Structures are given as C-alpha cells and as structure tokens.
Amino acid sequence: MKLRHPDAARQISRAAIIGAGQMGLGIAYVTALHAKVPLTLHDPSPSVLSSSLKRLDKLFERDVEKARISREEAEAARARITGRQGDGTEGGLEGEDVDLVIEAIPEIPDLKIKLFSRLSALLPPPTILGSNTSSISLTRLAAAASREEGQSLTNTNEGNAQAGRVVGIHFFNPVPQMKLVEVIPALQTSPETLERAREFGKACGKEVTTSADSPGFIANAILMPMINEAIIVLEKGIATKEDIDTTFRLGMAHPMGPLALADLIGLDTCLHIQRVLLQETGDTKYRPAGLLVRMVDAGWVGRKVGKGFYEYD
Ligand code: CAA
C-alpha cells in the first residue's frame, strides 16, 4: 500500500507495552509474532508479570503444537519480549529508543491521564503514545500528554507535537483470536500518527477500522448497552443466565452469549466502561445494572478470578 505521509513509512522497530494483564499480554503476543517487533512488557506487579510471561510461553508452545508456526519462529517471537517490573515511567523507559508505546492499564481515567502525562515527559516525539482504552477520550489523553507539571503547552509547537502522537489502538479479547483493531484519532492526532497506528494494526495481522473519538467508539457504544440489558434481564428474573446466553448463541449466532462475554471481558472492565459512557454522554441508557455493580463489589469479576456469572476452573 502506498503511504500518504512520508513519516508514516517509518517502521516501528521497538515497542513498549504497559500493563501485562490479559490485554497487554495479548498485544505483546501479536506484536512479537506477527509484527515481529521487539518489545518490553511492563507491569508494576511481579506476580502479574511473571504469570503473563508464563502464559506467553504456553501460547507460543500451543502454536507450535498446532503446527501454526515452527519452533524457530516461536522462539524468535518469544525472544522479542522482555518483561520489566514497573509502570514504564520509573526506572523503565527513560532513555529508551522506542517508536511505539501502548498502554493497557485498567480502564480508569485518572490512571491513564497520569500515565500519559508522565510518558510524554519521558519519551520525546515522534514516539507514538498509543492507548488500548475501550472508552476513555483520546482527546483528553492527548491533552494530558501536552501538559508539563501543571503547565499547558496547548497551541505551542511542542504541545502540538506532544499531543499529535497520541492515538487509540484498541484490541479485542482474546487478542490472538480477535481479528480487529479499532484505531481512534484524538482531535489533536496528526495524520502521520493515525496512519502509522493503522499500519501497525495491520502488521499485527488485524483488520483495522477507524472511529472518531466519541464515547465507546464503535464497538463499546453498541456492545456495552447489549451486555447491560442482558444483566437487567437476568436481574429481573425474566430468564436464567443459560437461556439468555443460549438465545444469543443459537438465535443470533454469536460465538458466546452476553453474560459469558461479560465474564470474558471482566465485569470490572464492563463497569468502568459503562461509567465512562454514562459520565461522558449523560445518557441513562449507559447506567450500569445494579447487579453488575454488586458483582464487582463482591469481587466476582469474571474468568480472571474464576467466578463471574459462571464459574471457571
Ligand atoms: N482467553 C484467551 N484465549 C482463549 C480464551 C480466553 N478466555 N478462550 C478461548 N481462547 C482460545 C482457545 O485457547 C483457542 O486457542 P487455540 O486455537 O490456540 O487452541 C481458541 O481461543 C478457540 O477456543 P475454543 O476452540 O476453545 O473455543 P471457541 O471456538 O468457542 O472460541 C472464543 C472461543 C474465541 C473466545 C469465541 O467464543 C469468541 O470469539 N467469543 C467472542 C469474543 C468477543 O466477542 N471478544 C470481544 C470482546 S469486546 C473487547 O474485548 C473489547 C472491549 O473493549 C471490551
């Protein structure tokens, strides 16, 4: 494909992924295997980091067993991933020559805003600052990247360069299986950044769609109300969880029903997304079901803890 912007042709030759939860590890996997880009995977929790690295070993091993890739390819891909404890900003990325950072930390606006502000101080443009956010405004994250210690750089050359390299690069769970990346430009994102993000998504083996920076973008503006309605149907006692999910699996040919899908995404993540959607739009269609809130309060947040609407080994 012919690239419209000369800067967009610059290869991503080194990346960093911040957050080694289920999304971060999946992004690391496709980046190392398909895009063939060496990367560091950062997480503040040593136990999350070490279990993610073990999970990566297993994913590569299974690819070899299933003859999808050779042992040499698996070893080369695994060798491209280095785990590093921390959130990337302290004793992490300073002085590193990375072309792309993707954060996949929890879907909490204040956490992401702080991270973008610290990353922008640490890594000068043109390093792309990507976010795997499912719902948070990229424009707000880009604004955070163009602020220095409380000082706004808006409308300065430096501020525009800082904000212009921020972009949403939204993967889907489980990342190795889902064939989509949603790319979301902030109002400030430069055309070069947008194009490089789209090219990166394709290099990871994904179809790429583009959404304006609107609450929930394409996917979650539509998916979250569906999941929430399914929880309300359960809460009202209209049907069992099994019948709700069977309706979607057999009646609409979805690979899994909305309650099983909520367990896969994580009920905490679903709640965070819905709170952002409600706050951003003021539209009560995004008000989280009471049962969702209570399940998160109980810690029953889905597959990752072994219990959500269903139980898992
Ligand atoms: N995590 C990681 N990998 C998983 C998995 C999980 N929870 N569940 C299944 N897989 C893997 C399996 O290990 C298997 O991999 P291999 O081929 O390497 O062995 C592969 O997926 C297929 O699994 P199965 O044959 O056991 O099961 P399946 O054919 O029913 O597929 C599925 C499982 C891929 C999860 C399928 O049910 C599906 O596509 N579900 C819908 C998922 C979906 O909608 N994801 C998007 C969520 S929205 C989102 O992520 C964005 C957001 O912002 C919230």
- CATH number of the domain to which 256 belongs: 1.10.1040.50
Looking at 150, 182, 210, which one is the last position of a domain? 210
List, in sequence order, every residue forming a beta bridge with 147; answer none if it has no partner.
Answer: 152
Residue 224: pLDDT above 60? Answer: yes
Say yes or no: 202 and 242 in one domain: no
132 flagged as catalytic: no
Say yes or no: 232 and 258 in one domain: yes
Say yes or no: 10 and 153 in one domain: yes
- Determine the pLDDT at residue 161: 84
Tens of pLDDT, residue by residue over 286-307, are 999 999 999 999 999 999 999 9
- Determine the pLDDT at residue 128: 97
Mean pLDDT of the residues in the chain:
93
Q: Token match 């699996």: residue?
A: 249
Average of pLDDT values for 201-227? 97
- Determine the pLDDT at residue 151: 65
How many domains does the chain contain in total? 2
Q: Cα of 153 to ligand 1 centre, how many Å?
A: 42
Q: Which pTM was predicted?
A: 0.93
Looking at 180, 210, 240, which one is the last position of a domain? 210
134 flagged as catalytic: yes
- CATH number of the domain to which 141 belongs: 3.40.50.720
Q: Cα of 176 to ligand 1 centre, how many Å?
A: 8
- Determine the pLDDT at residue 236: 98
Say yes or no: 87 and 12 in one domain: yes
309 inside domain: no
Residue 95 confidence class, pLDDT cut points 50, 70, 90: confident
Looking at 176, 210, 244, which one is the last position of a domain? 210
96 flagged as catalytic: no
Q: Is 134 annotated as a binding residue?
A: yes
- Determine the pLDDT at residue 5: 55
Say yes or no: 176 and 32 in one domain: yes
> Which of 54, 132, 177 to mutate to test ligand 1, by most ligand atoms within 8 A of the CB atom?
177
Expressed as residue numbers, the domain containing 143 is 6-210
ipTM over 0.90: yes
258 inside domain: yes
